[in-house]
A and B are shown apart, each in its own frame.
Chain A
Amino acid sequence: MPALFPRWSNSALWGALILGVAGLAVLLLAPMIWVRTPYDTHRLHPLDQPVLFDHRHHVLDDGIDCLYCHYTAAVSRTASVPPTELCMNCHGQIWPDSPLLEPLRRSWFTGRPIPWRRVHRLPDFVYFSHAPHVNAGVGCSSCHGQVETMALVFAESPMQMGWCLDCHRNPVPHLRPLDRITDVNWRPPPDQAVQGLLLQRELRVAPPTNCTGCHR
């Protein structure tokens, strides 16, 4: 009786098996890699905004503190895009005729809000609050990156749960003195391991790692 299968079918079988296993691995791994890509986390993707607002100019040239505009970050859940009124406090006097500020003036005179596009988005079941972070020595740039260098703001961090938990489990590398929260030039000192630990003691930083810390 002749062989039912030709000789090459051995190789084909092995090939198919290997391809199958590899395919399975890809099926499993691809989504895991995918959800970590900046594309999926909307990271590093500058968004066009209705007003050509430039943080570089306001922070570096003018030296305006983060909390001057985002003043609720220290007291509330949200850091708040400032109301039009706050922009007009200055821009009623400075560049009052600039065509670039036309959307701002339109908002001011019509009373309609400026529809800013959301750069950092958390899922609805996450109840993040800025205030405890700002008051516990977590600086703006720790999560938002060097906003003062961004022409258009983009998300620096993936804002995923694993990323949150990394810091909640070990906040020491990210803590800075409270008077340097908004300091764009702050870099961890060489002895951050010690400084951070001291700050953690002093500020009694004990971030929650249980579910209802953030999900309610």
Chain B
Amino acid sequence: MTTPTGHRLPLLEDDGWSRRHVLQLLGMGALAACQPPREPILPYTVQPAGVVPGKPQFYATTMTLDGYATGLLVESHVGRPTKIEGNPDHPASLGATGLQHQASILDLYDPSRARLPRRREGPAGWETFVREFGPLLPGAGVPPPGEGLHFVLPPTTSPLAASLVDAVRTRYPRAAFHFHAPLYARAADEAARAAFGQVLATQRFFDRATRVLAIDADFLGTSPFGVRWSHDFAQRRRVHGPADDMNRLYVVESDLGLAGAIADHRLRARPSEVPLVFLAIARALVRGSPRAPDALRGALERLPADLPHAPWAEAAARDLLQHAGDCVVIVGDTQPAEVHVLAHALNDLLGNVGRTVAYTPTAIVEAGEASFGLEPLLAAMDARAVSTLVLLDVDPVRDAFADDRFGARMAQVPQTVCLSLRETATAKASRWFLPGTHWLESWGDARAFDGTLSLRQPLVRPLYGGHDALEVLAVFAGLADTNPWRLLRTLHQRTGAAPTDATWNAAVQRGLFPGTAFAEVAAAFRADAVAPAVNAMATRARPGGIEIALRPDPRLHDGTFAHNEWLLELPDPITRVSWDNPAHVSHATARRLDLHEGDVVEVRWNDRSLRIPVLPTEGVADDTLALTLGWGAWVARERDVVGTDAYPLRTRAAPWDLAGATVEPIERPRPVGGTERVRVELASGQPHIDMHDRPILLHDTLETFRNQPDFVRPHDDRRPSLYGAWTQHGPQWGMSIDLGTCTGCATCVIACQAENNIPTVGRIGTAKGRAMHWLRIDRYRLGTGEDDVQLLPQPMLCQHCEKAPCEYVCPVNATVHSPDGLNEMVYNRCIGTRFCSNNCPYKVRRFNFLEYNDYEAETPKMQKNPDVTVRARGVMEKCTYCVQRIRTAQIEARIERRELRDGEVRTACQAACPTGAIVFGQVSDPNSGVAALQGLPHSYAVLQHELGTEPRTRYLAHLRNENEEVPA
């Protein structure tokens, strides 16, 4: 390896006697008395097969989100799961994970989980429950059995759940099943029924699409398929040279989502305007395609001539027409059924079906057509026809429509049973409560978006003694054996999926049954469905007042993760606000209504109201208030309610978009007379978003790049340095981050947090700028103006500068350079002067201002990665390039007497990234992936020209594929 020589500053010369030596001596007095106690060594009595203490094991398992499976590999250290990785074999993961997958490991160890089963009268065990509900229910013995027995479950894709539902129905033929989830996309099902006569799942192949039109669809963010779709989308967006092609993304939406933020063209539209813009695009498409069916043409031509944003719509439509057959039109789940019908019609018109779009049977299990939603249950409760209500892993008291008054209705039911991970509102209102299990604690199965049958394998026994919803169903089915593993094994033996032990073990090992994806269905679009849909869209009243857009939360989803400290502390991927969900409003509207950041407003809609702080932010449609669902839970760490629960605004008539609301700031009397605004301070992870003309996030159009591929070079030249070189030997590590494919989803942030034992600091700590994330997602504003700007993401982590400014100022050599090019941070040397952090131009060093790690609670300790130090108060820390993974791989390679292979070391952020934007490896190896990427013409290092820090982390500039015809 090379050993560059250079001039050395006298100060850095090792003259044998330095400040460090003096400090060493001073520290010595204190050392002698401090020796921690010696804990005993507790070996296994019987060591489980395959377990080697000190070496982690990975097990394939499955997590479901909205019922859909994502295959995962879970790292386990002698029986305790610590980290979640993607399963490369699984179609929904392809080796990557989503935000919630990474974070859910924390929920497993959450001390605030429910522990005790109880009957309203007092504590009662699982055995009592089985004794009470296992025998045929009293009163249900007379035919028809099961009258008045109702179950509420989340929508599921599990064949085992389906078979247990059948088993319960065999015993109680009149038992009713209801599937409830607040975010469940019923509109898509209704649309499929209208368009194809049957419920079908729409599969989109973004890796085949050169043009994408997303109507209010954050398909890269809040969708349960976001991981796979992000991967596919990135395949067509990766540009490595002037010859490469790139897809183009059009987005129409009300609130800025991940897809909208990186879209090539994005149109801000009020919720009521979105369908109209879509109609304008549809009309332009029909006018441009001679073979458009008459029904569609007729319905669209009957529309009024002045649809909003027509020039934009027409330009987008022309582009789509030119790429007919390799584009995708996707509509978000928050849009009503008629909009989905029109999307089906347009995909059909553009010839996308069979190429970029396909239809398959849905993976979601149904128990009768009326089983989705709570309407039949509400009617039965009103008729006093419900005698026993069983609520499994659902919380309708909190998240059912507000006008359902589920809690009040539920109080009239004589017998209620609730199973849930926590003492939810529904649990508190139930007579029977059973603690549930985390998905890492019990056996189960589920299907992925494409139908692939996946197995959920537990990694630990239930930590808090919970039981799975499947077991409760088995009890009601009267099964003698309710063990989920045996139920699962028997079922898949019977269905023929795993006839032998060998096939079963192979499936458990891989986490899925290969080849079980659904075959595509040839679905004929019903031409007569489109006219009613278009009419419904057009006649939708164009309302005045403020419109409210209720949306799934990019972090907490529907509130399932409302107790997850990692997700609560994660800055919102768009607005960078953590520990809160303020209502988003455009800057123009905020000025018009005289609203400022943090002002608490009263939102009134019909007879409902809500108090919530507002945040003027970019990309929100004017006269629109965007709220996210799922917040407002009481969080133990904060000893307070975090965020605002928006479910009380949500009604059956208007589940997503509410029109005609009013917004008024709240005043309160001041002690000195007069009044003042009620304000809250929002904790922001990144308070300002301007680059001030500094070359931090470099970007340009695809056209510029083609004309001048090395347009970043002026910002990336090598500069002369006063500082000497260090000795290099061994592999040289570096990272490349592709800003072109980064969606800013922040999965890497949570993956880093899980891998590196990064603590949370709470709301106040975040507000003081003390968040500990080693890797953060910065957002920078592109373009002039306030609202119509682009907010581009940039993952920012330790750049591992070859001329690291932090190293020169550390008085105790606690941060030094390693021969393989890592900027090392040595916690046990650090005395906490914070000089390094002050001298770091990238602001990636994090200081433990307080003792942030909980040394008291026992279970959260179990999540800690044993390969990484848990840092104490007063110590600086930062990204290490996952040095524990590097060293482990190096030791492995050394034992096997071979060189490290490229791609053998994957950092936590790299492994989690759905789009593969992060690549890590040896820059010293010219054949490595990272060296190839760093050699691309648009690869640059942040602030290299200004500071000459020579970072090892380099970025590929963001490129956007602009359509010149689209009006700005």
Q: Which of B38-46, B351-359, B439-447, B466-474 contacts A (4 or more CB under 8 A)?
A: B38-46
Q: Which of B203-211, B665-673, B823-831, B848-856 contacts A (4 or more CB under 8 A)?
A: B823-831
A194 to B207, CA, bound (A): 60
A215 to B814, CA, bound (A): 11
**Interface membership of A112, Cβ < 8 A:** yes
Interface residues of B in 821-851 (CB under 8 A from A): 822, 824, 826-828
Q: Which of B403-411, B500-508, B645-653, B879-887 contacts A (4 or more CB under 8 A)?
A: B879-887
Q: Which of A14-22, A30-38, A183-191 contacts B (4 or more CB under 8 A)?
A: A30-38
Contact with B along A108-129 (1 / 0, CB 8 A): 1001111111100101110101
Q: Do A108 and B32 form a contact, CB below 8 Å, given A215-B826, A216-B883?
A: no
Contact A31 B45 (CB under 8 A): no
- Chain A residues in 8 Å Cβ range of B828: 123, 125, 215
Partner of B40, one of A35, A117, A123: A117
A77 to chain B, nearest CB (A): 4
Partner of A118, one of B38, B884, B887, B897: B38
B767 to chain A, nearest CB (A): 31
A101 to B55, CA, bound (A): 30
Partner of B45, one of A78, A111, A118: A111
Contact A84 B827 (CB under 8 A): no
A215 to B825, CA, bound (A): 9
Contact B28 A131 (CB under 8 A): no
**Interface membership of A80, Cβ < 8 A:** yes
Please classify the interface of chain B as helix (H, G, I), strand (E, B), loop, or mixed, using the class held by over half of its residues.
loop
A211 to B830, CA, bound (A): 13
**Interface membership of B654, Cβ < 8 A:** no
Interface residues of B in 845-893 (CB under 8 A from A): 867-870, 880, 883-884, 887, 891
Contact A84 B887 (CB under 8 A): no
- Chain B residues in 8 Å Cβ range of A40: 32, 35
Contact B45 A113 (CB under 8 A): yes
Contact B46 A85 (CB under 8 A): yes
A26 to B895, CA, bound (A): 47
Contact with A along B313-340 (1 / 0, CB 8 A): 0000000000000000000000000000
A56 to B835, CA, bound (A): 54
Q: Do A211 and B41 form a contact, CB below 8 Å, given A31-B31, A131-B891, A132-B891?
A: no
- Chain A residues in 8 Å Cβ range of B36: 124
**Interface membership of B635, Cβ < 8 A:** no
**Interface membership of A182, Cβ < 8 A:** no
Contact A210 B824 (CB under 8 A): yes
A131 to B894, CA, bound (A): 10
Interface residues of A in 176-216 (CB under 8 A from B): 203-204, 206, 210-213, 215-216
A113 to chain B, nearest CB (A): 4
- Chain A residues in 8 Å Cβ range of B295: none
**Interface membership of A175, Cβ < 8 A:** no
A188 to B71, CA, bound (A): 54
A9 to B32, CA, bound (A): 38
Contact B894 A135 (CB under 8 A): yes
A127 to B29, CA, bound (A): 25
Q: Do A210 and B818 form a contact, CB below 8 Å, given A132-B895, A216-B869?
A: yes
Contact A84 B32 (CB under 8 A): no
A81 to chain B, nearest CB (A): 4
> In the complex, which residue of chain A has the Cβ closest to the Cβ of B29?
A31
A128 to B47, CA, bound (A): 22
Partner of B867, one of A78, A121, A216: A216
> In the complex, which residue of chain A has the Cβ closest to the Cβ of B822?
A212
A1 to chain B, nearest CB (A): 46
- Chain B residues in 8 Å Cβ range of A117: 38, 40-41
- Chain A residues in 8 Å Cβ range of B79: none
Partner of B47, one of A85, A125, A203, A204: A85
Contact with A along B800-820 (1 / 0, CB 8 A): 000000000000000010111
Partner of A83, one of B39, B44, B819, B870: B44
Contact A116 B43 (CB under 8 A): yes
**Interface membership of A75, Cβ < 8 A:** yes
Q: Do A213 and B887 form a contact, CB below 8 Å, given A75-B52, A81-B41, A84-B45?
A: yes
> In the complex, which residue of chain B has the Cβ closest to the Cβ of A107?
B45
A132 to B892, CA, bound (A): 8
Q: Which of B41, B47, B891, B897 has the most CB of A within 10 A?
A: B41
**Interface membership of A149, Cβ < 8 A:** no
A31 to B34, CA, bound (A): 12
| A contact residues, total (Cβ < 8 Å) | 48
- Chain A residues in 8 Å Cβ range of B28: 28, 31-32, 35
Contact B53 A80 (CB under 8 A): yes
Partner of A81, one of B38, B43, B816, B897: B43
Contact A76 B55 (CB under 8 A): yes
**Interface membership of B54, Cβ < 8 A:** yes
B176 to chain A, nearest CB (A): 46
- Chain A residues in 8 Å Cβ range of B894: 132, 135-136, 204
Q: Do A76 and B54 form a contact, CB below 8 Å, given A31-B32, A215-B828?
A: yes
Q: Which of A27, A31, A34, A35 has the most CB of B within 10 A?
A: A31
Partner of B884, one of A31, A35, A216: A216
Q: Which of A78, A129, A212, A215 has the most CB of B within 10 A?
A: A212
Contact B880 A135 (CB under 8 A): no
Contact A211 B869 (CB under 8 A): no
**Interface membership of B9, Cβ < 8 A:** no
- Chain B residues in 8 Å Cβ range of A84: 43-46
A91 to B41, CA, bound (A): 21
**Interface membership of B11, Cβ < 8 A:** no
Contact with B along A47-84 (1 / 0, CB 8 A): 00000000000000000000000001001111011111
A40 to B897, CA, bound (A): 38
Contact A28 B32 (CB under 8 A): no
- Chain B residues in 8 Å Cβ range of A212: 818, 822, 824, 880, 883, 887
Contact A116 B44 (CB under 8 A): no
Contact with A along B54-73 (1 / 0, CB 8 A): 11000000000000000000
- Chain A residues in 8 Å Cβ range of B35: 40
> In the complex, which residue of chain A has the Cβ closest to the Cβ of B730?
A206
A117 to B38, CA, bound (A): 8
- Chain A residues in 8 Å Cβ range of B880: 212, 216
Contact A77 B868 (CB under 8 A): no
Contact B897 A34 (CB under 8 A): no
- Chain B residues in 8 Å Cβ range of A77: 54-55
Contact B45 A125 (CB under 8 A): no
B167 to chain A, nearest CB (A): 36
**Interface membership of B25, Cβ < 8 A:** yes
A106 to B723, CA, bound (A): 65
- Chain A residues in 8 Å Cβ range of B43: 80-84, 113-114, 116
A209 to chain B, nearest CB (A): 9
Partner of B887, one of A107, A108, A206, A216: A216
Contact A127 B41 (CB under 8 A): no
- Chain A residues in 8 Å Cβ range of B46: 83-85, 111
Q: Which of B32, B39, B54, B828 has the most CB of A within 10 A?
A: B54
B14 to chain A, nearest CB (A): 14
- Chain A residues in 8 Å Cβ range of B868: 216
A203 to B884, CA, bound (A): 23
Interface residues of A in 76-103 (CB under 8 A from B): 76-78, 80-86
- Chain A residues in 8 Å Cβ range of B869: 124-125, 215-216
Partner of B827, one of A31, A72, A125: A125
Instruction: Please provide the 9 A-B residue pairs with the shortest distance between their CB atoms, ordered closest to farther.
Output: A77-B54, A76-B54, A115-B40, A31-B28, A83-B44, A78-B54, A113-B42, A210-B818, A84-B45
- Known A-B contacts: A27-B29, A75-B52, A210-B818. Give 12 more (CB < 8 A): A31-B31, A81-B43, A82-B43, A86-B47, A113-B45, A129-B891, A204-B897, A211-B818, A212-B818, A212-B880, A213-B887, A215-B826
A selection of 20 A-B contacts at a CB cut-off of 8 Å is A31-B28, A78-B53, A80-B43, A81-B43, A83-B43, A84-B45, A85-B44, A85-B47, A113-B44, A115-B42, A124-B869, A124-B870, A125-B828, A125-B869, A136-B894, A203-B897, A212-B822, A212-B824, A215-B827, A216-B880
